[in-house]
Amino acid sequence: MGRADADTPTVVALGLLLGALSRHTLTLQTLGAGDSPSPASATTPRAVLSTTHLLLPAAVMQQATLARAAIAHAAAHLLYSPPAQAAGTLKPLGLAVASAIEDARVEALLMQRLPGVRRWFLQAQPAHDPHGLDVPSLLARLGHALLNGRYADGNHWVHKGRTLFAATRHDHGLEDHAAFRRLASILANDLGQMRVRLDPQQCVVPAAYRDDHSYLWQHGATADHATEVLQVQTPVAPPPPADASPADTPPTDAEERPDDGICHLYPEWDYRLQRERADWCTVREAVPPAAAPGGLQPAAEPTAPWRSRRRLSRNQRLRRQWEGEDLDLDAAIDVQVERRLALAPDGRLFVRPGSEAPRCSVLVLLDLSASTGDVAASSAQPLLAVEQQAALLLARAAQAGQDRIAIHGFASNTRAAVHYLRLLDFGTPLDAVHTQRILSTRAAGSTRIGAALRHATRCLLAEPAGPRAIVLVTDGAPSDVDVFDARYLTEDARAAVLAARRQGVQCHGLVVDAGADRYVHRIFGWRGYRVVARAAQLPRALQAIHEQLSA
């Protein structure tokens, strides 16, 4: 290994500086290009930090600005970073983002303690491509944005990273290492959604004064907690096939629900400020694994079959008919295209009036908060069990009537974790796997209705043109553990309902609470809700709302 003389003035001075900043005694040595343990650093070596040594590249040693910043950065890791964290199943992209966030966190902690080192880090910032969209360029832009508050970057991902970093710092403090790991999971997932590819053999830490992150990770070890695994996720909108085997065990409560799913940021209305807080709530969308059938009670069958009382519209114009009074222009254009392609055209070219039942897309949004697990005085089972049975019965009736239906659930644990579970999606048959998935949901957490309604609206807008509606089934007013103003979340839920209606999505509330009128009218408006006093009335009330919507 290449070394500098231990008694050279530069090494002695840097060693004293490292000891003064970190309160640790380490051996400081020079790292040659051939000494780097990382293949990617063969041409651009980075410092190597351990609990006993700090190896600085010769190029860094020769520049006082870089050497001073490298010493301060190493001291920040020694003071504030847990060493040798289990990498577990972290993907390379997740490692790169988590390491960059950790670099920014420990530097912020050191600058909080010693404000003068900010100038050292700013002077050592590398030049970067302000328009680069590869992983090293984006990480360099993010690192600069997190360090320099005056730096303006037009990239959405960089702006989101800066916003989330500031919010996490405000809400949890810089000492909460786990909160910033969750932040890194969100950003890594976004890069995966952006289809930004990472070549581990070519990627190198952007800033020359920062180390290669070998101090942070222990590769080949198993993580102690599955919830700490950071990896790039694939979209979960399409449900798994019916014969797919679940890869994970069922969660036991809201905190243990899969929080590594796709994350979405939504605004929240603050009635006190009379404005929306942009990107204020994080909705963590996931498809929960189906529980094993053992121990689950099957959904109760209705005592009398639900019969559709849908009205047929007499004002429909049926297109692509064999005969009619008017020509269907779209069909005529398709015929000409098919003729030019030497294909056999479809002869259904006409439009005629007729009777056709409108197809309605209904999303049933179940409240899965902790209070739904309580057994009501007038019922022999928890409200959640009644919700599950009512949703299953409605799904069977709706699919039999050719309506499109989805069943989703939600529960929250502060604005940073609104868990949104896709139990049954549009166009998916209600088979045994999805039935088990609905029946295996657990009651835990709080009820942040506004964020859940905004995400449900987003899911519905992807549906084909036609009537669209959300039916929220809940047992009480909106609430969450980080909100102490009883009116705050009610006003936010009202704003979410109004926003959905402006986009053509109807919102209806079904509340199992005899005293709900005081808040549910404010959220859903006149004739936009139904209140039932007993849980046993829930299935019939849900059927009545569906009949109203589909008519």
Asked whether residue 41 is assigned to any structural domain, the reply reads: yes
Q: How far apart are CA 273 and CA 277, in angstroms?
A: 9
Q: Which residues contact 336 (CB under 8 A, 6 or more apart)?
A: none
Q: Are 504 and 532 found together in one domain?
A: yes
**Listed residues 218, 234, 250: the one ending a domain:** 218
Q: Are 326 and 408 found together in one domain?
A: no
The predicted-structure confidence for 410-463, as pLDDT tens digits, reads as follows 999 889 899 999 999 988 888 888 898 999 888 888 999 999 999 999 998 888
Token couple for 255: 């905190």
DSSP letter, residue 211: B
Phi, psi of 364 (to 5 degrees): -90, 120
Asked whether residue 213 is assigned to any structural domain, the reply reads: yes
Q: Are 352 and 364 found together in one domain?
A: no
Among candidate residues 131, 136, 284, the one with its CA nearest the CA of residue 196:
136
| 3-class SS of residue 365 | strand
Examine the pLDDT at 310 and tell me if it is beyond 80.
Answer: no
Q: Are 325 and 417 found together in one domain?
A: no
Q: Are 471 and 533 found together in one domain?
A: yes
Dihedral sign of CA atoms 118, 122, 123, 124 in order = positive
Global pTM reads 0.48
Domain count, the chain: 3
**Listed residues 159, 185, 218: the one ending a domain:** 218
Q: State the pLDDT at residue 261.
A: 62
Q: Are 85 and 102 found together in one domain?
A: yes
Asked whether residue 245 is assigned to any structural domain, the reply reads: no
In 287-425, the DSSP E strands lie at 313-321, 326-327, 350-356, 361-367, 404-412, 418-424
Q: Where residue 133 falls among pLDDT bands split at 50, 70, 90?
A: confident
Q: Indicate the residue type of 52.
A: T
Asked whether residue 209 is assigned to any structural domain, the reply reads: yes
146-160, 200-214, 460-474: range with lowest mean pLDDT: 200-214
Asked whether residue 304 is assigned to any structural domain, the reply reads: no
| 3-class SS of residue 201 | coil
**Listed residues 327, 356, 385: the one ending a domain:** 356
Q: State the pLDDT at residue 356.
A: 54
Q: Which residues contact 213 (CB under 8 A, 6 or more apart)?
A: 95, 99, 205
Q: Domain containing 408: what range?
A: 359-550
Q: Are 337 and 212 found together in one domain?
A: no
Q: Where residue 257 falls among pLDDT bands split at 50, 70, 90?
A: very low
Examine the pLDDT at 359 and tell me if it is beyond 50.
Answer: yes
Q: Are 383 and 325 found together in one domain?
A: no
Q: Are 88 and 142 found together in one domain?
A: yes
- Region 324-340 average pLDDT: 84
